[in-house]
Amino acid sequence: MVAQLSFFVSIAFSGIAWGMVTARYIWPALRPRARAEALRPLLILHSFRFVGLAFLVPGVVSPDLPSAFGHSAAYGDIMAATLALLSLVMLPSGAGVLIAWIFNLWGSADILNAFYQANATGLSAGRLGAAYFIPTLFVPLLLISHGLAFRILLQPHKASVMRESRQPA
């Protein structure tokens, strides 16, 4: 019980800390950028989701880790990383923005599914082994960055606004 409570408290503190970093440093740096330029750092961050493959490595995680959780988390993460990289290559084209939408929908759904699978399988924190840092440190940042990506994608395309503001009146 103490281990589970420590796990959830760690996730909560990580979410609070990453929220503060995002509000103070990340969002102010991204907000004035054109859509493609604002998305790039977020997509680069998500290209590291290959780390989720650790859920498949014996010795990193407990042999008792529910396979329903491990497999869906690992393969969902590698798909999210692939979509993030593909979007990076294709930006700023319309296809790159479309792939960024697909990535963001997939990546968000993947994280929500991981939470669902963890609860449905009764996953205990100790079964994560060395992969414990992924949901306690990395996942809160990923969730926040998905929120930022949705906010950026839903904003009007800024390139035309920036060009108009540079022209003398």
- Give the integer Cα–Cα distance in Å for 137 and 168: 47
Q: Cα dihedral sign for 14, 20, 26, 32?
A: positive
- Give the integer Cα–Cα distance in Å for 60 and 129: 6
**Per-residue pLDDT tens for 18-62?**
999 999 999 999 999 999 999 999 999 999 999 999 999 999 999
Position 76 pLDDT exceeds 70: yes
Hey, which bits of 26-109 come out as E strands?
Answer: none
Domain ranges of the chain: 2-158
**Per-residue pLDDT tens for 92-128?**
999 999 999 999 999 999 999 999 999 999 899 999 9
DSSP state of 93: S
Position 161 pLDDT exceeds 60: no
Residue 163: the pLDDT is: 41
Q: Are 61 and 133 in contact (CB under 8 A)?
A: no
Work out the average pLDDT over 132-141: 96
pTM value? 0.88
**Per-residue pLDDT tens for 139-153?**
999 999 999 999 999
Q: Cα dihedral sign for 101, 102, 107, 109?
A: positive
